[in-house]
Amino acid sequence: MRKTFVILIILFTSLLFIQTDSIRETEINSVMTDHHNYQSLSENKLQKIVDSQNKIKQFKEHKIKDKSTRVSISISFAGDCTLGQDIRQGNWNTFPTVAEREGYDFFFKEVQTVFAHDDLTIVNLETTLTTSEDFEPNKKWRYKGSPDYTEILKIGNIEAVHIANNHMHDYKRKGFEDTIEALEKADIIYYGNDTMSQKWNTRGGHLGYDIPRVINIQGIKIALLGYKGWYDNENNREKIQQDINHMKENADVIIVSYHWGDQRVYYPNQMQKDLGRFTIDCGADIVVGHHPHVIQGIEKYKDKFIVYSLGNFSFGGNRNPEDRDCIIFQSIFTLENGKLVDNKGKIIPCKISTDENINNFQPIVLNGTEKQRVLDRIYKYSEALEYGIKPVQLPVNIIE
């Protein structure tokens, strides 16, 4: 009887261990499943913090990292993109005819080695996207493209556009509103300020918009501010200072874009230099410029870059420009505990066309001797600047 009782106890204990192991295995599987779901969710597209209207847009795929970790992000800047034409150009070799013939993936196909692998790409959108025919009669050049050309930006991995330039009003307020609507529908970030320019003149109109942005990349808040840099006075400086002060409270990195300078001039004018350095003094982490349609030098002022002109990029405004050189400037920001601890730059030489005989509006990254030739130009123009960058060793070409 005692032996039978012992056997029963042993059998009961064995069953208990088996059941316990089964329960633990179920718990482990549940935890692994939950962890897998969490990873899947964390890899969804990030949503960006946008303007005061608190609209939410989709962004590139990233895991959101804790700000206590060390995070590096890469942001690429390219110059003037006119996704359209002046209607007086006719139909021969215009941006729309190339788009119809080659498809929307054609234009930025040769720069995807850069744009598809960074965290954010920004260009200057130098055109309206509208079907309006009511253009500004006092403008020498009036650009427009189809509203669905936003798909070209999306296919090209361009997430953000600067709009504070002298062509946003080419088709008056209707053209501007159509452009904004098209960008909104395509979830393209747009930013810029038009409250600091004189009204209706040949260098730029006045639509009164003021659109700053803050976006989130890997848990890092990036501020985007853009201006027309043709007027340097006390009121404008006060506005710039106020904007940057506000962004210091709401962002970890502050980017400022200027549409400024003299066309087809390879050196920044005094206003560019004064405004650029003032903007860094106010607290910006980088200043990037466009409008001259040619490249200009680069300064590193107080350990922050001022890229005076990136040149053209995919530029439908000129079917055969004499100077086709341009650059992509890539900033690599490293932050630790939410603070900027390192700031590097990379010059990526390009030209605006893959066709040697004409502008086909397809920029391409340069290599070999052509790459070095454009770099040499940048260093030459920079050498004349008080805080100009110095040549660095290839092929890495990282500016410390």
Per-residue pLDDT of 328-357, as tens digits, reads: 999 999 999 989 999 999 999 999 999 999
The whole-angstrom separation of Cα 173 and Cα 181 is 12
The whole-angstrom separation of Cα 302 and Cα 325 is 28
What CATH number has the domain spanning 46-399? 3.60.21.10
Return the half-sphere exposure (C-beta side, CA atoms, 13 A cut-off) of residue 60: 23
Share of the chain above pLDDT 90, in %: 73
Tokens of 306: 């001022």
Given a cut of 70, whether residue 390 has pLDDT beyond it is yes
**Three-state secondary-structure class, residue 62:** coil
Given a cut of 70, whether residue 13 has pLDDT beyond it is no
C-alpha distances out from residue 4 to 8, 10, 101, 233, 360, Å: 6, 10, 90, 101, 93
**H/E element, 377:** helix 368-383
Q: Which residues contact 330 (CB under 8 A, 6 or more apart)?
A: 74, 75, 76, 77, 114, 118, 345, 346, 348
Per-residue pLDDT of 238-297, as tens digits, reads: 999 999 999 999 999 999 999 999 999 999 999 999 999 999 999 999 999 999 999 999
Banded model confidence at residue 197, pLDDT cuts 50, 70, 90: low
Per-residue pLDDT of 43-71, as tens digits, reads: 332 233 233 333 333 344 343 445 568 99
C-alpha distances out from residue 333 to 35, 224, 375, 382, 391, Å: 30, 15, 22, 22, 20
The whole-angstrom separation of Cα 331 and Cα 300 is 12
CA dihedral 102, 107, 110, 111 (to 10 degrees): -160
Q: Name the β-bridge partners of 226.
A: 257
Banded model confidence at residue 208, pLDDT cuts 50, 70, 90: confident
181-202 average pLDDT score: 83
Range with lowest mean pLDDT among 82-96, 186-200, 241-255: 186-200
The answer to whether the beta carbons of residues 229 and 257 sit under 8 Å apart is: no
Per-residue pLDDT of 308-329, as tens digits, reads: 999 999 999 999 999 999 999 9
